[in-house]
Chain A
Amino acid sequence: MKILVIEDEQGLRENITSYLNVDGNICESCSTLTTSLQKLSDYDYDCVLLDIGLPDGEGFGVLEYLSIKQKTEAVLIISARNSLDDKLKGLNIGADDYLTKPFHLAELKARLMAVYRRKAFNTSNKLVFNEISVDMQGRTVEINQTPIILTRKEYDMLLYFMANKGKVISKNAIAEHLWGDEMDMYDSFDFIYTHIKNLRRKILEVGGRDYLTSIYGMGYKFTD
């Protein structure tokens, strides 16, 4: 997957790029509207990460450019502004998703994968990792062709892990992904433990391997 990160904050840009630069992904970055338009006209990308507040203009310009040139890049907006107006405006002129700062890199990756998948394979939408196969449309999971029944939270969690395989995901990131703002962090940590336990049990029961490692006090890692 070829990704372009358009973000003016250097620290953020570097971290995003290095986090995404795995699994054969190619991640490029730029920090202004002008350079981003230059890059978009020269190359084709699969996904664009777009910060709305750029030093030389609003990031909406990128969306307008893409729609004029009829380019098919999936666009994920990252913005400091949690305004519904901006969100609607962005989505209306061609963005695929909208993520508000601050965000976890795991969340960013999961969302990016989701918009990419939605754009890339419109029909059969299957995510496969070794013996685990997830049908995104039917929201069903099979281990070695044996279907397992997951709760909504377990399913979301599995997808989240698969999108961020090989990475340590903090409990904070998992909690925010599963519950958003509605729950206090302290309450949700216990629930994460329960959900992980159940998910692991369900996969093991039908002969799947245990890919989940617990990182002491911090979170979990889904890895080969």
Chain B
Amino acid sequence: MKLSQHYTRTSVYATLTVLVIGAVIYYFAINYIGTQQLDRALQQQLTEAEEYIRSNDGNPQLYDLDRDHAVFVKTNRQLLLKRFFDTTYFNPKEQRSEAGRAVEDLVKQKDSNYKVVITVSRAGQKNLIELISIITLALLAGLLAVLFVINKYMLNGLWKPFQLTLNEIKQFNIADVDQFKGKPSKVDEFTELNEAIREMSLRVTHDYLNLKQFTENASHEMMTPLAVVTTKLDTLIQDETLSAEQLEQIADIYSSVNKSSRLNQSLLLLAKLENKLVTEEEPISLETVIETKILQFQELIEKKELTIRHTLYPRQIVASKYLVDILLNNLFSNATRHNVPGGSIIIDLNSDQLSIRNTGTANVLNRQQIFERFQKGKDSQGAGLGLTLVKNICQLYGYTIQYEYETGWHKFVVTF
């Protein structure tokens, strides 16, 4: 739920609660005051009636206070507590019953006692309460409407700089040259937020650049010592007195140095791909490149007695030749290396996708993990960067790479 909705909801609930409680209190207060006034009026009439009876000794039945209902009933009771109560009032003019208020008391005239009941209409008071209620309800509705409008338009307007900042953060890419700018805002909080994000992005970009530089420098610096080791070994093996055992040791050193330098090159290439530093592009006929690649792998394919079948439809792409070569190399070498003796490779190329299928061990590979760095099979000789390179090259050109497994067939699909 959006912040403005939260705010609207809370403010509406609060307003409603306060207004409803207020209205109830208001109602009772007005009712109470109204009743008090009626009771005072009744008391006055009662006093008048008593005075009239006492002074005139007349027949109380003849007394009619302003044609209001005053009823005198002779009674033998000596004691009657004066009380005010709600009752119905018959309006003689309009010939209908209305809510009324009455007072009951005992009036003494010489020897006879009368119970007097005086009733007045409460219609006026009712009307007043109704009117006040209507006004209150109208106020309530008006207030709610104003609240809605304010929240909807005013608040959304207030939050606009926040939305802009948020959009900019979403588009922020650490590898981009574009820095976070942040639209200027009149609101202090947003200005502060933008300032903080700007500082953070600068720091992050700086750290990232440092790290990138570090990776590149480290890999480069590694190349020279590796070159020294290689050339020293090349010189060392010229010695004719070396024993077979020593030569074997040197051969092992050779392969380790070779592994390190390949690993280093892969890491450098990954760093380059991630920083989008490979920019040279040219149109490439993929079908021709694949045919050449098949020829290049011919020796290996023959050695493992693999059959290779391919259906290649012409497909032109614009990419770096160097990267396409690495991509195909990795896919081909996986398809041959992880194949079974006497197995097959099937290559299909059409305008949408390139798929390379190969027979292999009957266990399905982990779809997510195989593309991660340094994830490799048990019998793999590489560093585990091959498929990571493949994935990153695909990403660079907006292709997708997928792995599928189907009863003994491992399939890699590049979708353009």
Contact = CB atoms under 8 A, between A and B. Distances in A.
B237 A215 contact: yes
Contacts of A83: 272
Given A102-B230, A218-B237, A187 B258 contact: no
B296 A182 contact: yes
A170 interface: yes
A139 interface: no
A219 B254 CA distance: 12
Contacts of B232: 11, 15
A224 interface: no
Given A181-B265, A182-B329, A12 B237 contact: no
B220 A19 contact: no
Interface string A145-186: 000000000000000000000011011110010000111111
A15 B329 contact: no
Query: Considering residues A104, A218, A219, which has the most beta carbons from chain B within 10 angstroms of its beta carbon?
Result: A218
A84 interface: yes
Interface bracket on B = 35 or more
B238 A168 contact: yes
A82 interface: yes
Contacts of A11: 228, 231-232
Interface in A82-117: 82-84, 100-106
Interface residues of A, number: 42
Contacts of A187: 300, 303, 337
Q: Is the interface of A mostly helix, strand, loop or mixed?
A: mixed
Interface string B157-179: 00000000000000000000000
Contacts of A171: 251
Nearest to B268: A82
Q: Is the interface of B mostly helix, strand, loop or mixed?
A: helix
A173 B234 contact: yes
A182 B322 CA distance: 12
A103 B381 contact: no
Contacts of A191: 299, 303
Nearest to B249: A217
Query: Considering residues B230, B268, B329, B333, which has the most beta carbons from chain A within 10 angstroms of its beta carbon?
Result: B230
A186 B231 CA distance: 21
Contacts of A84: 278, 280, 322
B329 A181 contact: yes
Contacts of B382: 184
B254 to A, nearest CB: 5
Contacts of A78: 227
A181 B383 CA distance: 13
Contacts of A18: 235
Contacts of A101: 223-224, 226-227
Nearest to A108: B231
A184 B250 CA distance: 18
Interface in B235-254: 235, 237-238, 244, 247-248, 250-251, 254
Interface of B: 220-221, 223-224, 226-235, 237-238, 244, 247-248, 250-251, 254-255, 257-258, 261-262, 265, 268, 272, 278, 280, 296, 299-300, 303, 322, 329, 333, 337, 381-382
13 contacts: A12-B227, A12-B231, A15-B235, A83-B272, A100-B223, A103-B231, A104-B230, A170-B251, A181-B329, A182-B296, A182-B333, A191-B303, A219-B237
Given A53-B220, A100-B223, A181-B265, 8 more contacts: A11-B232, A81-B220, A102-B261, A182-B296, A184-B381, A185-B381, A216-B244, A217-B248
